[in-house]
Amino acid sequence: MPKEPPLLEASSIGKQFPGVRALHNVNLTLFQGEILSLVGENGAGKSTMMKLLAGIHLPDDGAIKLNGDLVEITNVREAQKYGIALIHQELNLSDNLDIAANIFLGNEPHKNGVMDHNRIHRESAQFLKRVGLEFPTDTLVADLTIGHQQLVEISKALSVDARIIIMDEPTSSLSQKESKKLFEVIRGLKSQGISIIYISHRLGEVIDLSDRVSVLRDGENAGELVGDEITHDAMVKLMVGRDLSQFYNRTVTALGEKIFEVKGLRTPPYPDNEISFSVRSGEILGIAGLVGAGRTELLQTIFGITPAVGGSMKLNGKELMPKSSLEAIDSGIVLAPEDRKRHGLILEMNVRENTSLARLSRDQKVGIIDFNNEYELAEKTIKELKIKTPHSSQVVQYLSGGNQQKVVLGKWLSMNPSLLLLDEPTRGIDIGSKQEIYKLMEELAASGVAVIFVSSEMEEVLGMADRVLVMHEGAVTGDLSREQLNEEAVMQLATGNKAAA
Amino acid sequence: MIKKLTFILTALAVVLVAGCGNNSSNGTNDGDDKAKHKIAYVTNGIDPFWDLCAAGVRQAESELGGVECEIHFPTKGLADQKSIMESLMAKGIAGMAVSPVDADGQTKFLNEIASQTKLITHDADAPKSERLVYIGTDNYKAGRALGRLVKEAIPDGGEVAIFVGRLEQLNARQRRQGVIDELLDRPSQTLGQIKFDEVAKVFKGEKYTIVDTRTDNFVMDAAKSNAEDAITKYENLACMVGLFAYNPPRCLQAIKEAGKLGKIKVCGFDEDDALLQAIKDGHAHGTISQQPWNYGYQSVKVLKSILDGDNSVIPPNKFIDLGYKSVTAKNIDEFWSEKNKMAALGKKKD
Amino acid sequence: MNKNTIGILSLFVLIFGFTWYSNENFVNGYNMTNLVKWSSLYAIMGIGVAFVIITGGIDLSIGSVIGLVASLLALAIKYEWNPTLTVVLLLGLSIVIGLMHGLLITKVKLQPFVVTLCGLLFYRGISRWLTDNQTMQFPGTENLDSFFSGKLLIFGKFALSSPFFFLVVVAIIAAFFLNRTIWGRYLLALGNNEDGARYSGIQTDRLKIAAYVICSFLAGVSGLLFAYELDSVQPAQTGEFYELYAIAAAVLGGCSLRGGQGAIFGVIIAAAVIRLLRNSINLVGISTHLEFSIIGLVILGGVTADELIKRIVAKRRSKQISTSKS
């Protein structure tokens, strides 16, 4: 551990968004040539923290010191000036330009407005060498793999003399081979004296790579681990605030009949892949996979939002192939979508109106809303799901993520579904609500509902599922029972490595 | 998106132009087309007044022979009139009679037209332009005649309000000035050198007070509510003067609804049937008619003469005054039957 | 009554008071009769377009539909068709027009702006073509005359005219539909978040089509009322620009062009404000040439104030929540 004064020191950082306290009294230090991993669950505040450092947001409270000097980073340009570069999870490259043009985008060396092409290509080649990317600098970015594009992003950071490179989930869409290559590059950068802040959900990578780990939980510091302290269990414990075994306290109930069966289902984005699986009543089926594996699309097809292009489905012994969400709902399938704000809720409507939205057509009398009934339904839902809201007339956009998700679930539970589809049910939700949602999933399963949930959080998949389907590029690459479940196996399948199963 | 929109607009324009083309080509075909002068008659808007003028155009066309006339009614004021005239020029037209929407502002454009074709003005003049001749009424004199009608209607004097479509038009300003000068017993002014009074001003004479002039931009509901609001605002309103054909009927409607028929007199311009009926019924005092069919007839006749090479029709002062006719209860029957006759004649031709 | 409505109501009271102060004749029976009549005519159009605006769409064809219906009515009377049958047919026509708009927007997925802009041009052209662009004197028909432009004397010279009674019926049905029926709720939901509504099993396309049908139908009703009110139809001009007044009334009355918000009562008051401004301009004696500018400024001021209030409320709420959390 280097003991000289830290390169970067952020203290007592606070940040507020409408309705959400994103960060509170967060401290973070970074030394030169250090790889610091920042871990925490979704919504813990990692991305917000990084955006503050990169000048995308401004902190409400706290101070940031660079080399001991107090600085104020008000925009991205300024962050660049201080040598801080953020590489987003979704890359910000222009596909239609070549590597060199991307590296110098916005910083083109020029004479009176005329670009110095030779210099751009000459210097780009040097940066590519530093990250070990052996491509001509005039290669179009569109022709590169994601992994190589990532390296171009890093070269871009180097081109502005970045001393601190922040990487937000860089491996989320990389193959294992590509990830390994990236780690080599990161270690190389470290040896060149560059400091890295590495954000990842993949704790295995974090253990391999990090000098130090800082854990965030609910927008606050949860703890710090150095060297040998960095273990899987230790990190998870800090992330969730208690032992994992307690957190996912899954009591497996006896499974009932097969109630939902999918045969040869083909979804519009992957019309060549046939998907088949079944779920029993009382079963919780997890679907794991990388971003873009086709999990969300599968749920949307089952729910009738993007009708299937082939195959068959059977629910409670009855054939069905919903062409609209209304058909799916009517036959007992409901979906709590991944993007709560865009798909799950009518944000500007209140809790009452959101909980009743799907039920209205059942409770109406000649089209007229029964307001008493609606009110009672809302009050009941608020009570049963412990939704924290001052009253049922509160507009849902002012609720916290967890409570918003409960409203979505409340809406569907009142419909007494046979099959509950959950897409990333706990994304961006505080720990407390998270646990309540898990409990709810269990209770529903116990009452005979079949639950299918998609999750990108390994802990959640491992902890909650009775069985896990793993998807890769629109196809099911594995079907793991609870006994076969482990992180390694899921990762192998999710990256398309079938042999691992 | 923009491409799509452009395409649709172009398609619409093509359809419209094609439609116009059809209209003009189904005119008279009973002579040698080559010998016929192709001319155009352009109004400043749409109004029953122009329908009667069109009747005169058609009458002249058939009576005089050797001339074929397109009639255009611009609907959207200045810009629309300009684009119609431009497309007429593009088409190649031998002569054009136009009632300019804005005489002064259009001078340059009118000169451009005049350099390419025989241009005359009718109804409203553009004195600064190089038009060959102006066929019309001395609107100032007609305005004074209207003023005299008002004096007849309310011999004891009182408050008078004026209603008009637009004051950008010279004829509207001249009429208005004529009415004001007559009511205030000012000396007569010469057409072309008239000093115009400003709009937002009350003119108090010995007997008569002109309390207001309201414009409506040819919007019907505005014309009516202007009349209504004047009745509300001026409790002692004695006479309403409508300078454009549709104004007096709107005034009459408003008066009727206020229950003041006969109490507030109406004097108007032109010959809307509703106004003529009111004169007959004694609800309106009278109107000044320019006998619009003469406009159409004379325009065609003059253009034909010019095109035939006979410039003697152009008087030295370049103004052919068609005069006006005062219509009151005394001569309403005779006038109305003449109007109906002309209207029927015009329709038969179409 | 929501906050928007209170804002617009105060604006109304303010202008009302100012005009009264400037000219005491303002409140006489005759003027009030006229004000109520014109406001009602505008409000009916405004309510129509409010439904479309609630879905996040727009209808620019209202004025042309009014012109078309009025022109066809005048033509039918000229050719001595059965007036009642004609009225029924014309209302049917306006429904068909709305249906076409709705289908083009939902099924062919064209943008509402484009579809109704083309409608604006198309119907205007048809009106002019069918009538040969002739101004139609409007002799009226005895029984329908009193139905569409009759007056009921209340006291003194104050009378309520047919358009007012039409408005009352339209407003009650519209407010009931929007606030009490599931379809009204769905309409608000889809206006706020169309995807969200679809994910809740709402058939958003049908509702959108319904909104365009309502809008065109009410434009058709307005067309009949305007024709009977003015006793004269000009195919090229009757109804021109009315869509803009209708949209202004809807927006000023609390509908957001982003969709999802609307209050029928607010729209009525906003339509009244627009008419009141005209009336006021005439009575106070401001040049008519300034009319558009004044109306434009007042609407701009109204929506700006509305937006600022909303922002303050949102800020306060989010503060409340965060303090209650920590």
Q: Which ipTM value was assigned to this complex?
A: 0.85
| C316 vs A319, higher pLDDT | A319
- pLDDT for C214: 97
Between chains, do A349 and C321 touch, taking CB under 8 Å as contact?
no
The pLDDT-based confidence of A176 (bands split at 50, 70, 90) is confident
Q: How many other CB atoms are found less than 10 A from the CB of residue B83?
A: 12
Q: How confident is the model at residue B107 (pLDDT cuts 50, 70, 90)?
A: confident
User: For chain C, which residues lie within 8 Å of any Cβ of chain A, measuring from their own Cβ?
Assistant: 180-183, 185-186, 188-189, 192-193, 195-203, 260-261, 314-315, 317-318, 321-322, 324-326
**Backbone torsions φ then ψ of A7, nearest 5 degrees:** -70, -45
Neighbouring subunits of B (3+ Cβ pairs under 8 A): C
pLDDT of residue C317: 64
Residues A389, A393, A394: CA angle, nearest 5 degrees: 45
Tell me which chain B residues have a C-beta less than 8 angstroms from the C-beta of C241. 219
Question: Closest partner residue to A343 among C199, C203, C261, by Cβ?
Answer: C199
Domain borders along chain B are 33-137+292-323+338-349, 139-289
User: Of the candidates A16, A329, A337, which has its C-beta nearest C322's C-beta?
Assistant: A16
Q: Name the CATH superfamily for B33-137+292-323+338-349.
A: Response regulator (3.40.50.2300)
Instruction: Report the alpha-carbon distance of residue C105 to residue C100 in Å, rounded.
Output: 8
CA nearest to B161, candidates B176, B172, B173: B176
Q: What angle do CA B54, B250, B139 make, to 5 degrees?
A: 50
pLDDT exceeds cutoff 50 at B73:
yes
Interior/surface letters A295-328, b for 16+ CB within 10 angstroms, e for the rest: bbbbbbbbbbbbbbeebebbbeeeebbbebbbbb
- In sequence order, what DSSP letters do the residues of B10-29 get, joined into one string? HHHHHHHHHHHHHHHHTS--
Could you give the dihedral angle defined by the CA atoms of residues C165, C167, C172 and C177, in that order, rounded to the nearest 10 degrees? 140
Residues B276-296 have a mean pLDDT of: 93
The partner residue sitting opposite B232, judged by closest CB among C25, C118, C288, is: C25
Q: What is the pLDDT of residues A9-46, one digit of tens each?
A: 999 999 887 666 788 899 999 999 999 999 887 667 88
Quick check: A2 pLDDT over 50? no
| pLDDT at residue A19, as a whole number | 61
Chain C interface, best mutation among A360, A363, A371, by max C CB count within 10 A? A360
Q: Are B306 and B315 in contact (CB under 8 A)?
A: no
Provide the shortest C-alpha distance from residue C17 to chain B (in Å): 16
Supply the pLDDT for residue B20: 44
At A498, the pLDDT band (50, 70, 90 cuts) reads low
pLDDT of residue A313: 94
- On the CB side of B53, CA atoms within 13 Å amount to 34
**B215–C289: do the CB atoms touch at under 8 Å?**
yes
CATH class of C3-318: mainly alpha
| Contact between C199 and A364 using a beta-carbon 8 Å cutoff | no
Contact B180, B194 (CB under 8 A): no
Check residue A501 and give its pLDDT: 42
Helices B332-349, B48-64: axis angle to 10 degrees equals 60
> Contacts of residue C136 in chain B, CB cutoff 8 Å?
none
- C203, closest residue in chain A (CA to CA): A326
Show Cβ contacts of residue A61 under 8 Å, excluding neighbours closer than 6 positions: A12, A13, A14, A15, A25
Minimal Cα–Cα distance from C115 to chain A, Å? 26
Q: Which pLDDT score, from 0 to 100, does residue B232 have?
A: 92
CB atoms inside a 10 Å sphere around CB A399: 25
pLDDT at B183 over 60: yes
| Confidence band, pLDDT 50/70/90 cuts, at residue C139 | low
Residues of A near C (CB-CB distance < 8 A)? 16, 18-21, 24, 303, 305, 324-326, 328-330, 335, 337, 342-349, 353, 357-358, 360-361, 364, 367-369, 390, 395, 398-400, 411
> Tokens in use for C281?
């301009």
Interface contact B246, partner C, CB < 8 A: yes
Residue entry with tokens 């470290």: A190
Quote the minimal CA–CA distance from B168 to chain C in Å: 11
- Mean pLDDT computed over every residue of chain B: 85
Q: What residue of B is the nearest CA neighbor of C289?
A: B215
- The rounded percent of chain A whose pLDDT value lies above 90 is 37
C133 touches chain B (CB under 8 A): yes
Give the B window 56-85 contacts with C, CB below 8 Å.
73, 75
Using one digit for the tens of pLDDT, what is the confidence trace for B162-176?
A: 999 988 878 899 999
Q: How many CB atoms lie within 10 A of CB A1?
A: 8
> With an 8 Å Cβ cutoff, are C30 and B228 in contact?
yes
CB contact under 8 A, B75 and C122: no
Could you give the angle at which helices C29-54 and B247-257 cross, rounded to 10 degrees?
Answer: 110
B139-289: what fold? Rossmann fold (3.40.50)
Statement: residue A492 has pLDDT above 60: yes
| Closest CB to C230 among B199, B221, B230 | B221
C14 — pLDDT class (breaks 50, 70, 90): very high
Q: Evaluate if residue C155 carries a pLDDT over 50.
A: yes
Amino acid symbol at B199? V
Q: What is the rounded average pLDDT of the residues B220-240?
A: 93
Mutation site for B-interface testing, chosen from C122, C282, C293 by largest number of B Cβ within 10 Å: C282
The closest of A166, A310, A248 to A441, measured between CA atoms, is A248
**Within an 8 Å CB–CB cutoff, is residue B5 touching chain C?**
yes
Touching pair A, B by Cβ (3+ pairs < 8 Å): no
CB contact under 8 A, A345 and C182: no
DSSP per-residue letters across B293-313: HHHHHHHHHHHHHHHTT-GGG
Cβ pair C232:B75 closer than 8 A: no
pLDDT reported for residue B19: 45
CA distance A220 to chain C (A): 12
- Asked whether A154 and A129 are in contact (CB, 8 A), the reply is no
Alpha-carbon span A86 to A53, nearest angstrom: 9
Nearest residue, CB atoms, B232 vs list C28, C117, C237: C28
Mean of pLDDT values over B269-277: 91
| B17 at interface of C, judged by CB pairs closer than 8 A | no
pLDDT surpasses 60 at B146: yes
pLDDT-derived band at B31, boundaries 50, 70, 90: very low
How many Å lie between the alpha carbon of C193 and the closest alpha carbon of chain A? Answer: 6
Q: Sorting pLDDT into bands at 50, 70 and 90, what band is C276?
A: very high
pLDDT tens-digit map of A287-334: 998 777 889 999 999 999 999 999 999 999 899 999 999 999 999 999
- Share the mean pLDDT of chain A: 87
pLDDT band (50, 70, 90) for residue B22: very low
* Nearest chain B alpha carbon to C138: B274
Q: Is A8 helix (H, G, I), strand (E, B) or coil?
A: strand
**Which residue in C229, C279, C288 is closest to B214 by CB distance?**
C288
What percentage of chain A reaches a pLDDT higher than 70?
Answer: 96
Cα→Cα distances A70→A8, A29, B49, Å: 10, 14, 81
Q: Which of A69-83, C16-30, C282-296 has the lowest mean pLDDT?
A: C282-296
Q: State the maximum Cα–Cα separation within chain B, in Å, rounded to a whole number.
A: 66
Whether C and A touch, i.e. at least 3 CB pairs below 8 A, reads as yes
Position C229 scores a pLDDT of 87
Write down the domain spans for chain A: 8-247, 257-332+417-496, 346-415
What are B303-348's pLDDT values in tens digits? 999 999 888 889 998 989 998 999 999 999 999 998 988 877 655 4
Q: Predicted confidence band at A245 (pLDDT cuts at 50, 70, 90)?
A: low
For A92, phi then psi, to 5°, come to -110, 50
Mean pLDDT of the C93-101 span: 97
Task: Tell me if C285 and B19 make a contact (CB, 8 A cut-off).
Answer: no
Closest partner residue to C34 (CB to CB) among B16, B228, B235 is B228
Q: What does the pLDDT look like over C103-137, one tens digit per residue? A: 999 999 999 999 999 999 999 999 988 987 777 77
Q: Indicate if B139-289 has the same CATH topology as B33-137+292-323+338-349.
A: yes
DSSP A214-244: EEEETTEEEEEEEGGG--HHHHHHHHHSS-H
The per-residue pLDDT for range A90-128, each reduced to its tens digit, is: 778 888 888 988 888 887 888 888 888 888 899 899 888
Chain C residues touching residue B46 (CB < 8 angstroms) = 133-135, 234, 236-237
**pLDDT of the residue at B7:** 53
Lowest mean pLDDT: which of A167-181, C40-54, C115-129? A167-181
Cβ atoms B123, B295 nearer than 8 A: yes
Terminal Cα distance for chain B, rounded? 42
Read off the tokens for B311: 């410039």
Å from B214 to nearest chain C CA? 7
Structure tokens at B43: 């109004």
What CATH homologous superfamily does A8-247 map to? P-loop containing nucleotide triphosphate hydrolases (3.40.50.300)
Contact flag C196-A344 (C-beta cutoff 8 Å): yes
Q: HSE (CB half, 13 Å, CA atoms) of A6?
A: 15
Chain C positions in Cβ-Cβ contact with residue A411 (cut-off 8 Å): 200
- Give the nearest partner residue to C192 out of A329, A349, A400, using CB atoms: A349
pLDDT for A36 equals: 94
Q: Å from A333 to nearest chain C CA?
A: 11
Does domain A257-332+417-496 match CATH 3.40.50.410? no
Mean residue pLDDT of chain C comes to 89
Q: In what helix (H) or strand (E) does residue A40 lie, and over which residues does it extend?
A: none
Sheet holding A212-217, edge to edge: A84-87, A164-168, A195-199, A35-39, A212-217, A220-226
Nearest CA distance, C253 vs chain B (angstrom): 22
- Any C CB within 8 A of B221 CB: yes
Q: What percent of chain B has pLDDT over 70?
A: 88
pLDDT tens figures, C69-82: 999 999 998 888 88
